[in-house]
Amino acid sequence: MTARRQRMDLYWGSVVTPMGGALLVGSRQGIQRLWFEDTAQGVTLAGCQRADGRAQAVFASLMSEPATTVEQFDVQGTAFQRQVWQALLEIPLGMTTTYQVIADAIDRPKAVRAVANAIGANPIAYFIPCHRVVRSDGGLGGYRWGVERKRAILDWERDRVSRAA
């Protein structure tokens, strides 16, 4: 399949999340990217077909039944990045963990910095839950979409879990 053909198979749409508006880009294989609208400056969607309804349906489906494997997404990454992203998907809703715990989980205990870089390369806000990783001292650490948003997502998830209990 040519790059032009692959690009034409992509769709995008606006979705409303508990943390504000977002742009979702996907293909037949799954979501490729999710940006919060206020951080999407410079995003190029040329060649992607607008499909708000499709994007909203995919978003709603993942909100009700979260992904459990990286293969459910159409994300590009190295084998190491995909391994880290898979470990993120295993962090329970409403819980946090540290970069070191993720490094240990993938049997790379000395690769904490590389794990942090892989987490930072996550192209899908919220659904690959990089926001659930915090510093070893309990601090929130960085977040591609802003530390305040990270705090808001974690608070929202904890509230969701406590209401379900």
Per the model's pLDDT, the better-predicted residue between 117 and 45 turns out to be 117
Domain 3-70 is in which class? Answer: alpha beta
Residue 7 has pLDDT above 60, yes or no: no
Q: What integer pLDDT is reported at residue 8 of this predicted model?
A: 56
Give the DSSP H/E element, type plus range, for residue 64.
helix 52-64
Please tell me the distance from the alpha carbon of residue 57 to that of residue 87, in angstroms, as a whole number. 26
Angle between helices 112-120 and 79-89 (to 10 degrees): 80
Q: What is the pLDDT of residues 42-95, one digit of tens each?
A: 677 888 999 999 999 999 999 999 999 999 999 999 999 999 999 999 999 999
For the residues 98-125, what does the mean pLDDT come to?
Answer: 96
For the residues 98-118, what does the mean pLDDT come to?
Answer: 98
Q: Is 130 a catalytic residue?
A: yes
The domains of the chain are located at 3-70, 72-164
Can you read off the two tokens belonging to residue 41? 């400056």
Any idea which residue has 């749409």 for tokens? Answer: 13
Q: Which CATH number fits domain 72-164: 1.10.10.10, 3.40.50.720, 3.40.47.10, 1.10.1050.10?
A: 1.10.10.10
Is the model's pTM score more than 0.85?
yes
Q: What is the pLDDT of residues 125-163, one digit of tens each?
A: 789 999 999 999 999 998 888 899 999 999 999 999 999
The catalytically annotated residue of 103, 130, 133, 134 is 130
